[in-house]
Chain A
């Protein structure tokens, strides 16, 4: 008996060691396979490679996870090349400039209500049929309808202003009168109010054009596979979240003048950034995304591998103002002022976000950013004590229990919450606080009583007014559980929306709106997140844009190692 137990004990230890060692070993690289990327009888003729190019033009890319391949619902990390498979009408560069892509250009009427889009005359689908204005019209009519499950196109404010779109969104009509196919290559978009960011919106990957017939054949949860028709320089070879196989290859029917050098992109999903990092160290991947906490050790060794994604984001905890004690703004203010956010974020993010403390909604990368636009923001424990004393609760022991959910298992969110709790205890004497890592359902039946929820927001359209409008909408949206009504602010937001980013008064409006939103003290800040790609030195010409899209994909190549 004893002998058996000993054998069992030592076998268990051995198993643990074997498991740990095997966990340290990164997954084997995907089979590089043949260098011949195109089908027999290919239409696209190759582009002469630069002298220093490697023979094999394959990029291996590791990121956290991939979702189903569908541009209308894309919210994951297929987005780096989704606009190179199904093209958007325009494509943004690093500086947020929307450049012609599937469209050659556009005209806008003097009243700003009618946009005439010119589709590239050579554009064809991978089956050889031309890409027409009607393809765009019928696909968008589908993409905003209830039939398109999980689709995001109607979320954009400029799309909402297309004439006659609402009945289609509601499922009461099939056709949008504001979308007119003037001829095969000319699309007219009529708006009910001027919206200068329409073209910016049409550069977003969620508006990329898919062949409607493919979707109708595939059903409401359509996801692209190797049979999907495409109009961009790449096509799906295999994209299967079930088997974790992700690969795109050149579209042999690509019609553009510039042929890509890259033959294939092989995606690998890795939920553990330690594993991604080992793959990176072993040269098993050429491009890595989402190295978060490991980033600073890597930057110290290899700073030139980083390419910043010019993405504007906020990560924060919102406070439900309809639940005590957050129904009193003095409590909200006290809790913000009792935390040394610079110190907290530096520790919680292991130094990786020390200069990215979220002190305003607008980030330095985006137009109209104004430092210190959050009224009275900053660490001030004495002020915090006064504010708590001035609240209707008065003493810390009279506060009801504060419940926090991190809405995810990220150690950064958990650490931030733990630091907040400790500073509230030390500076205000508040101890009746509980935090649960994970989603809100970790609280079970107590879920409805959770007042502090971790949230994030990203400026997918890099327009300050649009982003501020989004934050304002959140304040009153019951689903967001903030519950602040400010009609005066609403009027100001409406007025702001009438101005284009070129107007001299534009930033005044944006900054005033931002200041008033933040003045409600409805959140506990964390960071302006920072996303970066890491690329190996043999990946030449890599560049990205606000949408995480590899904008320079046509000119990128793999150099000899």
Chain B
């Protein structure tokens, strides 16, 4: 009897393998967390991102004023104890509007990114694992969608399909009195940014497709096939979990891009409409006075810049942490 057979027979090898496996699992995530926390820029990014999320979640409760509340006798005031970041040109508290703007930006970013990821992962998985025909068809769909400029699509949606959706919601309100449909402003956002999400998924689809093409040649996939595991199970149990790391990294960059896109659209007057608070429309409404009241533009612009940079730092850190082959990883 060989040595290994001896160990197996007395049960010690199984325990040892299980123990090593558990150790490996813990080590992988520990390594990732360790890498993330050793990167100072990642920590800064993490703090900024957490601060953003807390602001988005609790900002309206801690904001000293409503985002629409006007004090017309105190317009365009410099920062003071009553108004930490000053007031805008119709006397609204800038700090409160920045906090409300954080909620707008975060909601739009989460919404857009979430829909993009779901669509992208499904289509990417189909392309990567569905054979040549599926790959061809999805590849052409991806090409078509990527040819649509996002900003133009948003403008098109704003002037074409928003009205039927809003009318539909108003009819529901007229018929049922359901309070959700009393104010249809949120529907505007849903339609415009939902439309943006529908053109943002191809990046994820391509990423997943590439990952699957690479992973499906791995030995553990071959092994699973050889023992009769179903294709669906292989895709869900083995391929997707192993391909998701790069998606998480891309997701952070998409998140910050979505925030910038929201601000861009609001700046152009397509996205969030006044008096709703959005960093983009705060910049737009005060851009005319940048030379003599620069803080009115600087506050939302710097907030957007800092948050975007912070999320990108975090994305960099995640990239290092989740990609052991990265040359700068530890």
Contacts and interface: CB of A to CB of B under 8 A. Distances in A.
B90 interface: yes
B143 interface: no
Interface in B146-197: 158-160, 162-164, 166, 170, 182-185
Contacts of B184: 401
Interface string A419-437: 1011001000001101111
Contact of B275 (A6, A274, A418, A442): A418
Most buried by B among A425, A437, A441: A437
B76 A350 contact: yes
Contacts of B182: 432
Nearest to A297: B292
B210 interface: no
A13 B159 CA distance: 33
B70 A5 contact: no
A441 B159 CA distance: 7
B309 A435 contact: no
B91 interface: yes
B162 A444 contact: yes
Contacts of B288: 272-274, 293, 411
Contact of A445 (B75, B164, B185, B273): B164
Interface in B287-317: 288-292, 305, 309, 312, 315-316
Interface stretch (A139-147, A239-247, A340-348): A340-348
Contacts of B158: 442, 444
Contacts of A33: none
B75 A350 contact: yes
B90 A278 contact: no
A421 B159 contact: no
B262 interface: no
Contacts of B14: none
Nearest to A2: B316
Contact of A434 (B69, B185, B289, B323): B185
B328 A277 contact: no
Nearest to A431: B183
Contacts of B236: none
Given A278-B291, A432-B182, A437-B274, A442 B316 contact: no
A34 B305 CA distance: 48
B70 A422 contact: yes
A414 interface: yes
Interface residues of B, number: 45
A9 interface: yes
Interface string B72-86: 110110000000000
B285 interface: yes
Interface string A257-297: 00000000000000011100110000000000000011001
A398 to B, nearest CB: 11
A158 to B, nearest CB: 39
A50 interface: no
B112 interface: no
Interface in A180-238: none
Interface in A369-395: none
Contact of A1 (B162, B166, B183, B326): B326
Given A414-B274, A421-B275, A445-B164, A5 B312 contact: yes
A344 B71 CA distance: 10
A293 B289 contact: yes
A436 B158 CA distance: 12
B89 A2 contact: no
Interface residues of A, number: 48
Contact of B328 (A3, A278, A411): A3
A458 to B, nearest CB: 22
B320 interface: yes
Given A409-B269, A421-B275, A444-B158, A350 B89 contact: yes
Contacts of A16: 305
Interface in A434-463: 434-438, 441-446
B285 A411 contact: yes
Interface string A290-308: 0001100100000000000
Nearest to A23: B290
Contacts of B264: none
Contacts of A350: 75-76, 89, 289
B72 A419 contact: yes
B251 to A, nearest CB: 15
Interface string A6-43: 10010001001000000010000000000000000000
Contact of A294 (B69, B185, B291): B291
B319 A1 contact: yes
B257 interface: no
Contact of A274 (B170, B185, B290): B290
B163 A444 contact: yes
A99 to B, nearest CB: 39
Given A2-B320, A418-B90, A437-B274, A401 B170 contact: yes
Interface string B271-291: 001110000000011101111
A418 B75 contact: no
Contacts of B275: 418, 421-422, 435
Given A6-B316, A350-B89, A444-B158, A277 B291 contact: yes
Give the one of B91, B182, B274, B289 with max A CB within 10 A.
B274
Contacts of A444: 158-160, 162-163
B285 A2 contact: no
B26 to A, nearest CB: 25
A122 B316 CA distance: 80
A419 B68 CA distance: 9
A96 interface: no
A443 B184 CA distance: 14
Interface centre among A278, A346, A418 (most CB of B within 10 A): A418
A446 B68 contact: no
Nearest to A422: B70
A274 B166 CA distance: 38
B123 to A, nearest CB: 25
Nearest to A8: B312
B163 A2 contact: no
A499 interface: no
Nearest to A442: B269
Nearest to B285: A411
Contacts of B286: 411
A2 B164 CA distance: 45
Contacts of B75: 347, 350
Contacts of B323: 1
A64 interface: no
24 contacts: A1-B323, A2-B328, A5-B315, A6-B316, A272-B288, A294-B289, A297-B292, A347-B91, A350-B89, A401-B170, A409-B269, A411-B89, A414-B274, A414-B285, A415-B285, A422-B69, A422-B70, A422-B275, A425-B68, A434-B273, A438-B269, A444-B162, A444-B163, A445-B159
Given A1-B319, A344-B72, A435-B274, 9 more contacts: A3-B328, A5-B312, A343-B73, A411-B288, A415-B285, A422-B69, A442-B158, A444-B160, A445-B163
Interface of A: 1-3, 5-6, 9, 13, 16, 24, 272-274, 277-278, 293-294, 297, 340, 343-344, 346-348, 350, 401, 409, 411, 414-415, 417-419, 421-422, 425, 431-432, 434-438, 441-446
Top 6 A-B pairs, shortest CB-CB distance? A444-B159, A445-B163, A274-B291, A347-B72, A446-B163, A2-B316
